[in-house]
Amino acid sequence: MDIYLRCAATCRTSFRAQGADLVVVTNAASKLRERCERLGLIEQIQLREHRFHLEVPEDLKFFEAHYKLDLFDAFGRGEFGANPTLVDLDTVLLRPLRAPAGLGLYDITSHVVPAYSEGRIRKDLQNLAAVTVETVRWFGGEFISAAADTYRRLSTNVRRLWPRYLDIAKSLHHVGDEMVVNAALQPLMQDGFEPDDFGTSGDVSRWWSARTLSKLDALGQVKGTALLHLPADKKFLAHRRLSEDHFTDRFFTCYVPYARRRIAVRKAASVVDRIRGKSRLFVPMLE
C-alpha cells in the first residue's frame, strides 16, 4: 500500500507540474488518508471515495486491477466530469497531455504480438467477444480518455462480457482489465469506431527497465512522451521526492542513472541465461 501511495504522490506532482491534477479513486478513503498522514503525504495526494459494484473473485489473477472496469460505468454517468482520463499510478506526466479525438487509447500491438503471437491473441479476443476479429489490435490498460457517452458504450460491452470472462479467464493468454477492454472494443471497432492512438502520436509510452518478451523502443526514443508508464519501477517512483519545479528535467536526471544500473544487471542475467540455454529475453536500451 505504501509503495502505491508514494507512486500516487509522484504521479500527482508530475501532473501538477503540467497544470493538471490527479485524483486517487478508492473504496477506502479514510484508511488511505490515515496512512497518508503517517507517511507525510496528506498534502500530496487527493483521495476520492467510490463504491465499487463489480463482483471480482479474489482468486482471479490480478483481481484488484479489474476494478478499473467498474469506473467506466461511473465515468459514463458523468460522476467524474465530462471527459475523465484514467491512468495508472506508476506513470508520470512529462508534458501536457492533449485532448483525445473520441476514445483515447494506447496501442501496444507491436509489443504483445511478438510475445504471444497474433493467432493466439485473435483466438482469445474472438472467444471472449464472440465476434470475428479481422485485424488484431491490443491497447494497454495504463491510459484511457474519453467523453462520458463513449464510456457508456464501453461499459455496456464490459458488463455483457464479464460473466463469460470469468468462465474462461484461466484459458486466456492475458488475465486483467486489458483483456476485457480489448474484447469490449471489438464490436465498437467493427461498427466503424476508430480509437485515437496516443502511442502513434507519441503522447503515451510504456518503457521497461526489466527484460521483456519483445524488443521495445530505447528510453531515448520515448523521453519526449507526455505520459510515461514505468511498470517495473514502482519503487523508484515511490522514493523519488521531486518538486513541481522543472519536474521533467529533474526526473530524468534521477532516472537515467538508475535505469543504466538496472540495464547492467539485466545484461549480466542474459549472459547467464545464454550459458544455461534458456529462452532469450530482450534487454532494455537507453539509446
List the CATH number of the domain containing 184: 3.90.550
**pLDDT score recorded for residue 220:** 96
5 vs 10: CA distance, rounded Å: 9
DSSP assignments along 125-165, one per residue: HHHHH-S--SS---B-SSEEE--HHHHHHHHHHHHHHHHHH
- Number of domain units in the chain: 1
- DSSP-derived 3-state class of residue 122: helix
What letter represents residue 208's amino acid?
W
- DSSP-derived 3-state class of residue 24: strand
Q: How far apart are the first and last CA of the chain?
A: 34
**pLDDT score recorded for residue 241:** 85
**pLDDT score recorded for residue 192:** 87
Q: Is the dihedral of CA 285, 108, 210, 203 positive or negative?
A: positive
- Which domain does 267 fall in, by range? 2-276
**pLDDT score recorded for residue 212:** 95
**pLDDT score recorded for residue 240:** 86
Q: Which of 173, 164, 102 is nearest to 138 (CA)?
A: 173
Classify residue 283: in a domain, yes or no: no
CA 269 to chain centre: 26
Classify residue 99: in a domain, yes or no: yes
Q: Which three cell numbers stand for residue 92?
A: 508520470
143-145 and 196-197: which strand pairing?
unpaired
Classify residue 46: in a domain, yes or no: yes
Q: Which three cell numbers stand for residue 39?
A: 507517511
Classify residue 65: in a domain, yes or no: yes
Classify residue 284: in a domain, yes or no: no
Per-residue pLDDT of the chain (287 residues; tens, 9 = 90+): 999 999 999 999 999 999 999 999 999 999 999 999 999 999 999 999 999 999 999 999 999 999 999 999 999 999 999 999 999 999 999 999 999 999 999 999 999 999 999 999 999 999 999 999 999 999 999 999 999 999 999 999 999 999 999 999 999 999 999 999 999 999 999 988 899 999 999 999 999 999 999 999 999 999 999 999 999 999 999 998 899 999 999 999 999 999 999 999 999 999 999 899 988 899 999 99
* Contact (CB, 8 A) for 263 and 250: no
279 vs 198: CA distance, rounded Å: 32
